[in-house]
Amino acid sequence: MLDGLRGFAKSWPGKILGGFLLVGVAGFGINNVILDLGSNTIARVGDEEINSREFLRAYESRVSQLSQQLGSVPTASQAEAYGIPTAVLLNLSEGAALDTLSSQFGLGVSDAKLAQMLREDPSFFGTLGTFDPSIFTQTLQRAGWTEAEYFEARAAEARRTQVLSSLFAETGLPDAASDLLNKYSGATRTVDYITLTELNVDTPAAPTEEELAAYLTEHQAEFRTVETRTVRLLDLSLTSLAATKTFTDEEIAAEYEAVRESLSTPERRTIEQVALNTPELQAQFEAGLAAGADFTNLVQQAGLTPSSLGTLAQSAITDTALANAAFGLAQGDFALIPGIGGQRAIHVSAIEAAGQPTLEEARADIVARLGATAARNEINDILDQIEELRAAFTPIEDIAQRYGLEVYEVAVSQSGAELSALPNLAADERQKVAQAIYRAEEGRLTPSVPLAGNAHLWFDLESIAPARDQTLDEVRDQLIATITEERTNNALIELGNTIVGRLEGGEALTDVAAELSLFPQISPPFSRFGSDDGTIDTTVAAAAFAGGPDHKGSAVSESGEFIVFQVTDNAAPAEPLATDVVAGLNDDARTGLENEFVAAIRDDAGLRINQQALNTLLVNNYGQ
């Protein structure tokens, strides 16, 4: 639960809630507009001021992080909706609170320490992985920092670290808490169980007409149609336009002669290799090569497994020695060439000869090439012509007929899934077209929908079928199946409860199972999170751990199986928590203490916000 609360606190909704809490607390003593704060001061914690330059720098950093998540730069109003100003103020106020405490303690940072921090800052590393003064200067300039501001910020950071480290460096989760967590997460149980099926209960009576009608009335929201819009669509794309083109045999033959060389396929060879990393292996394969031995037999005798390099053309092999050797061999032969750490044996297991398709074999490809070329040359002119015809209210069927294009009639829902009927419409553009269809009005001319690849789509909205409640006749079969399933499931749950009662009364699971013609299964040991092999899922595991060491119970698994079980074995964790888990728990505990401490220091010092200066700063830099 603590992890969930911490995760929520780090989320944008949690930060927005923090903003509401901040405003709420203001009514109990935090002044929202403080007259004694200067116009350049956004807030003050004790004697530490948060100035406008400091706020803007942190604000821009948060906006940049949000931009990466959203994929676009948020507007000022969007940033406010996400609670960025409040989050930035809270974060800066925490630092200011620690600055107040470090000042009271008289903490400082030596020049030597600052120099060390500078040298170890990876933001300023050069190509050699060490500090580069030129990169330091360039990075500060890009960020709008001066050297003095940088060193002042790093010094403040070091002083804050001194405060927290001196107070909380050795804190962590108590051993007792770690032990409890280990016992909770590492304990295992084993169960005997049976799985009940519909064969173990009587088939429920078929629902009557009255029951069907009553069920439909109660669950009408689950039985509704979705709104659909029937449209006639015309798409113009390179693919659809190319499909309308026809060419004579002479044109196809001429194009074939022009491109026949590019249609040729080079010789390709299937190549294997084995590394010969010892003198003994090298000698064995040299002797085998000289004796004309079979490569496969040699590999088997040596106990090696060849690695396949694939079926490649010579131009695709970047290793010159390998390419020359492989393409100098006959099929089935092998050669020895130098490799890393010794020699390697290269084997050619198959050869695909170079080839060139005949005119008939290449006809479809040639027609596609000619069509694509013609379409590219004509598509812009035809686009303009279609737009003019649409503006003149020419029926979409007449336009399609004029250019030999297809018209598709589709009843489209808001998801746009039905637009898969258009073969040239990419799946990722269906939603875009669906949105245009649902913005259209009956009887009004709709503009074209521009698509990728210089394609366009036009449509006429024919009719609108609003969402409505389905009638009993429409969903009768579905209702019968649903009610029957519910009754069967309820009967299985009741049977499971009955069996659990019998087990708790002392009856053996094997005897109960025999009455149902079932055989008890033995589970593998599992934790509260289920078994490693998935036999026991988290739902069944939770039910098994819901009682004592001899617990009996029933559960419906995540896959819908009705399980009745009895715990037969309990085991404590065999090992303590893993080191990395303990470290994580200690970090979480330490972070929690630090956060509570800093919040208390801030509350004690008092947070004062100059709301007027804050609003003016945001408006002047980011607009309303």
The secondary structure of 71-126 as a DSSP string is TSPPPHHHHHHTTHHHHHHHHHHHHHHHHHHHHHHT----HHHHHHHHHT-GGGB-
Q: Write down the pLDDT at residue 26.
A: 36
Helices (H), 430-546: 430-439, 472-504, 509-515, 538-544
- Lowest-pLDDT range, 22-36, 260-274, 385-399? 22-36
Does residue 548 have a pLDDT over 90?
A: yes
Summarised one tens digit per residue, pLDDT across range 440-460 is 998 889 999 999 988 999 999
- Lowest-pLDDT range, 31-35, 188-192, 472-476, 558-562? 31-35
Q: Write down the pLDDT at residue 591.
A: 83
Q: Write down the pLDDT at residue 39.
A: 65
Q: How far is CA 158 from CA 122, 155, 589, in A?
A: 17, 5, 22
Axis-axis angle for helices 295-302, 279-291 (nearest 10): 150
How large a percentage of the chain has pLDDT more than 70?
93
Q: Write down the pLDDT at residue 417.
A: 93
Count of beta carbons in the 10 Å neighbourhood of residue 477: 9
Summarised one tens digit per residue, pLDDT across range 283-332 is 999 999 999 999 999 999 888 889 999 999 998 888 888 999 999 999 99
Average per-residue pLDDT for the chain: 86
Does residue 610 have a pLDDT over 90?
A: no
Q: Write down the pLDDT at residue 565.
A: 97
Q: Write down the pLDDT at residue 38.
A: 58
Contact in structure between 556 and 539 (CB atoms under 8 Å): yes
Summarised one tens digit per residue, pLDDT across range 4-21 is 334 434 443 343 333 333
Does residue 30 have a pLDDT over 70?
A: no
Helices (H), 392-471: 396-403, 430-439
Contact in structure between 50 and 90 (CB atoms under 8 Å): no
Does residue 581 have a pLDDT over 50?
A: yes
**Position 204 confidence tier, pLDDT thresholds 50, 70, 90:** very high
